[in-house]
Amino acid sequence: MASYEPMIREMVDRFIKRLPGDKNFDLVADFSNLAPLLAIMHVIGFPEEHYAAAWEMADDLLAIVLGHHALDSEELNTRSKRLNAKFAYLQRLVEDRMASPRDDLISVMLHNEVQGKKLSPSEVVCNAFTLLSAAWETTSSTLASTVAALLEHREQWAALARGEADVQSIVPEGLRYDTPAIGLFRTASVDTAVGGVRINKGDRLILLFASANHDPANFEDPERFRIDRESTSPHLAFGHDIHHCVGAALAKAELVIMLESLTQRFPLLRRVDHNPLVYKPMSQLKAPAELWVAPS
């Protein structure tokens, strides 16, 4: 992951320099949505000049899969047609990497074996689609919700800006406190019991990571946001064991660098209002729709 840090810093610097120092701005639209998308594009192998296409691709996929209940039939049809066109684009990108491998994730997935087998081109396309969308929105959402929590606790933002708080400990607390991925479906592979509840092999479950991250049996005073929190129980925002998020290290590196850059550039940053965050209409994902802030 260390090899990606210069790339992440360059991208974060590029976008943070564009933020105005003399007027209010939307942290989501103007910053947290931007650098994470460009970073995961670089890792996967999307050309930077295709940024607009990647944005549309990720946004359409998330809206259809997680937000279809909020779309009327016309918008759902429009987004579906656009997404189908993007599949063709991504298929061409995969074909290019089959012929001419590069130092990117598409090439790695195409030319290496997983459990003794190579992924098919269609499997690589699907994986690239999923990684682009998931790595972008969850990282963007975590930054916005963590900044919102820090700004609600001014002393914690100020401590970070003065260099008196460890940003490496703030990121896990942000992930725990306002977990972006609320939960995911799983199928029980064996008969078992959890908390006295019988679960049979084949049962379909939804594991609520956000709920687990507020379990008072594992976290003292879980409803408080504390950058000095010490807990023997790790948060489950990235899942666990074989289902642990493959992009966790990249996301943590991005979040650390973005928080460092924000506090250095805007030590007096504040929210324009203190209304509860409004989230995008998506199931299983808490993504702030906007976060208006003032430079001082």
Measure the CA–CA gap between 182 and 179, rounded to whole angstroms.
6
Q: Are strands 270-271 and 292-294 parallel, antiparallel or unpaired?
A: antiparallel
Q: What three-state secondary structure class fits 145?
A: helix
How is 247-258 classified by DSSP, letter by letter?
Answer: THHHHHHHHHHH
Q: Return the exposure string of 217-247: e unless at least 16 CB atoms fall within 10 Å of the residue's CB, then b.
A: ebbeebeebbbebeeeeebbbbbeeeeebeb
Measure the CA–CA gap between 65 and 284, rounded to whole angstroms.
10
Closest by CA to 288, choosing from 125, 74, 139, is 139
Tally of CB atoms within 10 A around 41: 23
Q: pLDDT tens per residue, the chain (296 residues)? A: 678 899 999 999 999 999 999 999 999 999 999 999 999 999 999 999 999 999 999 999 999 999 999 999 999 999 999 999 988 999 999 999 999 999 999 999 999 988 889 999 999 999 999 999 999 999 999 999 999 999 999 999 999 999 999 999 899 999 999 999 999 999 999 999 988 999 999 999 999 999 999 999 999 999 999 988 877 678 999 988 888 888 899 999 999 999 999 999 999 999 999 889 999 999 889 999 999 999 99
Q: Which helix (H) or strand (E) holds 267?
A: none
Encoding tokens for residue 287?
């993504």
Domain ranges (residues) in the chain: 2-180+245-294
Pinpoint the alpha helices (H) of the chain.
5-16, 27, 35-44, 51-66, 73-99, 105-111, 121-152, 154-161, 167-177, 209-212, 248-265
The overall pTM is greater than 0.75: yes
Return the DSSP state at 18.
T
Query: What CATH superfamily is the domain 2-180+245-294?
Result: Cytochrome P450 (1.10.630.10)
